[in-house]
């Protein structure tokens, strides 16, 4: 019975993906319309054209990045084993890799089978119904930046709306309910998505994904029971983790990571990030050694 319900739920999530995307886009544009068509004209009449122009430029910049990263995350494949040539997978295969009976292919470290997408996703973080896609190796950057700009945009809009509430109330306009609704919506989205964004900041800085975090917790607890210590072998330090996640380097990496880009992420997503100087360190082998102690 449980298996049947699970299959029905997974199938419904897959079929409802376009609906979730349309709802997300609709909510984003509701806040954008209130900001550009209602709020900014009133700010201009109250504070002058230069102030209105400044807030318009900021709003356009944030909205562009929100839309760009959202649709890039929706339409960019996270990277799956089924997209790769089977010979390449076998040539790169390590002793720590598992085998997926559903995909009938080797499963690299950090890859997980998504029951909704029905594929093994490379460096899978999670399946997000709001983008109708898995978040993994090739589109995690877009997902993170979408969260970041959405939080900034909602906070910026909500603060401006709150500071100009007197203007709203002094004008008996038919769209008063729409203004108040979008202000509450922006504030609520800022709080809710802000918590998720803070969580992913922690994950990026610590060199792990959502699924890996729970696996690491299990390994950490198992090691503690044996009086030993466990550390994430993929954690290269906050700065190097950040650079690897956003695929940036060089002198201006601290600016480049947040800029929109359609450049394909480097690498195949098969080997761990801590592969250096020809020495491979795999998380699965490390976990197995720890769990064997129990």
Q: Both tokens of residue 166?
A: 């007197």
Q: Tell which phi-psi region holds residue 96, choosing left (phi > 0), alpha (psi between -120 and 50) or beta.
A: alpha
Q: From CA 270, how far away is CA 161, in angstroms rounded?
A: 47
Would you list the DSSP string of 169-213? HHS--TTHHHHHHHHHHHHHHHHHHHHHHHHHHHHHHTT--HHHH
Q: From CA 259, how far away is CA 85, in angstroms rounded?
A: 32
Q: From CA 219, how far away is CA 215, in angstroms rounded?
A: 6
Q: Both tokens of residue 190?
A: 């800022």
In the three-class reduction of DSSP (H, G, I as helix; E, B as strand; rest coil), residue 157 is classed as: helix
Q: Helix %, strand %, coil % for the chain, to 5?
A: 60, 5, 30
Q: Is 73 a catalytic residue?
A: no
Strand-strand pairing, 98-100 and 119-121:
unpaired
| CB distance 65 to 145 below 8 Å | yes
Q: Both tokens of residue 236?
A: 């290269």
In the three-class reduction of DSSP (H, G, I as helix; E, B as strand; rest coil), residue 70 is classed as: helix
Q: Which of 73, 114, 128, 190 is catalytic?
A: 128
User: Which residues are known catalytic residues?
Assistant: 128
């Amino acid at each position: 019975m449980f298996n049947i319900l699970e299959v029905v739920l997974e199938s419904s999530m897959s079929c409802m993906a376009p609906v979730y995307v349309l709802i997300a886009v609709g909510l984003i544009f509701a806040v954008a319309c209130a900001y550009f068509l209602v709020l900014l004209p009133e700010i201009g009449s109250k504070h002058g054209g230069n102030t209105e122009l400044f807030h318009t430029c900021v709003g356009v910049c944030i909205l562009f990045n929100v839309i760009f990263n959202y649709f890039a995350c929706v339409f960019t494949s996270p990277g799956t084993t089924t997209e790769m040539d089977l010979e390449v997978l076998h040539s790169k295969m390590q002793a720590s890799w598992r085998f997926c009976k559903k995909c009938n292919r080797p499963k690299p470290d950090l890859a997980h089978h998504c029951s909704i997408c029905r594929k093994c996703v490379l460096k899978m973080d999670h399946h997000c119904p709001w983008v109708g896609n898995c978040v993994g190796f090739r589109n995690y950057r877009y997902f993170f930046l979408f969260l970041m700009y959405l939080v900034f945009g909602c906070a910026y809009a909500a603060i401006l709306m709150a500071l100009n509430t007197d203007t709203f109330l002094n004008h008996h306009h038919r769209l008063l309910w729409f203004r108040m609704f979008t202000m509450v919506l922006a504030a609520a989205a800022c709080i809710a998505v802000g918590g998720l964004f803070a969580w992913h900041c922690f994950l990026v800085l610590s060199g792990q994904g959502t699924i890996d975090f729970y696996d690491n917790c299990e390994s950490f607890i198992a090691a503690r029971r044996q009086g030993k210590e466990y550390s994430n072998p993929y954690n290269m330090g906050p700065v190097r983790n950040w650079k690897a996640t956003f695929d940036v380097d060089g002198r201006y990496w601290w600016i480049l990571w947040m800029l929109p880009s359609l450049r394909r992420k480097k690498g195949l997503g098969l080997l761990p990030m801590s592969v250096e100087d020809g020495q491979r360190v795999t998380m699965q082998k490390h976990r197995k050694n720890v769990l064997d102690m129990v």
